[in-house]
Amino acid sequence: MSFVVPDFPAFDPDLAARLQQKVAGKAKPPGSLGRLETLAVQVGLIQGTEAPEVSAAEAYVFAGDHGLNQEGVSAYPSAVTTAMVATFLAGRASVNALAAACEVTVKVVDAGVDAELPSHPDLIDAKVRRGTRNAAVEPALTRAEVDQALAAGADIARRSTADALVLGEMGIGNTASAALIMHRLAPAPLEACIGSGAGHDAEGLARKTAVLERAAARSPADQALDVLAEFGGLEIAMMAGACLGGAAAGKVVIVDGFISTAAALAAVRLAPGLLPRLVFAHTSTERGHRGMLAALGAEPLLALDMRLGEGSGGVLAVPIVRAAARMLRETASLDEVLSGQVRPL
């Protein structure tokens, strides 16, 4: 059965007007909180309320391996994916430390790791297959596998009880797949989409570029489902499904870096009405990320020169999203202040 893309109607214009009026009436100079005011309105529209709340937040690290890595598109072997999954589950990765500081729970999703992973309370087994096929020589996934990944991601997001979901990833070789997705769906010249990933030197970057040129020449796919099938990966397709499922459930979906944005790009190409329901966390230094954000017309909250992935930039954006919602709920209006309704505690 094919994955059914949710429908995203335009936001309620009456609610938008009320939210704008509520922000404008706060006890502060007009516009003095800058983009936080815009974010507050966006969160209110996503949740469909004038009193939005972002308390519980969860980061989902979607993990998968890539057949493309057989061609040397990464500086690291695919076994590192499995090792990093163990590190996430041990609570010792960078995203774990950052998430703890920001009061965000971390979950790991096995979308397509090329290993059998032992069960763990924080591991969600949604494995479609053990890694994608080698996209340089054949389609990375079948359409049925893409549908399965999209449906699994949507279901994971819908089932979450959190108010905000951070979408992160782990998959050696996944900047290669993300570059191909950007190339076809932004669209953009391939050379503008390829970066150093986890740490290529000049020789490694040249090898990666040659492999991706071969992969791109193999297929002319330029529609979202076809592009995901041709170039993968499973964690990217599953994050695209999580974007769609989370937004359809009224959750604040926070997109992390280059690979997560590639997933969001695919999801938005499937459902253009999704875009205003996504919050983009930060601008990565991975080549191509700024161009992909520009193709979406997205303006991220942070610019910290990060390029780790894992959802690391996404968890750092959670306190800002929480603050925007609390400002809308808790800051007194100018009328309340001037009328003497506000009293010291």
**Pick from 236, 294, 240, 234: which is nearest to 269 by CA?**
240
Residues 59, 310: Cα–Cα separation, whole Å: 9
If DSSP codes are grouped into helix, strand and coil, which group holds residue 109? strand
Residues 167, 238: Cα–Cα separation, whole Å: 10
Catalytic status, residue 310: yes
Contact indicator for 293, 300 with CB cutoff of 8 Å: yes
Q: Name the region of 104 (left: φ>0; alpha: ψ -120 to 50; beta: rest).
A: beta
Phi/psi of residue 232, each to 5°? 70, -165
Task: Take residue 10 and report the two structure tokens written for it.
Answer: 């335009």
- Hey, which residues does 302 pair with through a beta bridge? 282
- Hey, which residues does 158 pair with through a beta bridge? none
Phi/psi of residue 235, each to 5°? -70, -30
CB neighbour list of residue 1: distance below 8 Å, 6 or more residues apart? 147
Q: Active site residue: 116, 145, 310, 330, which one?
A: 310
Could you give the residue numbers annotated as active site?
310
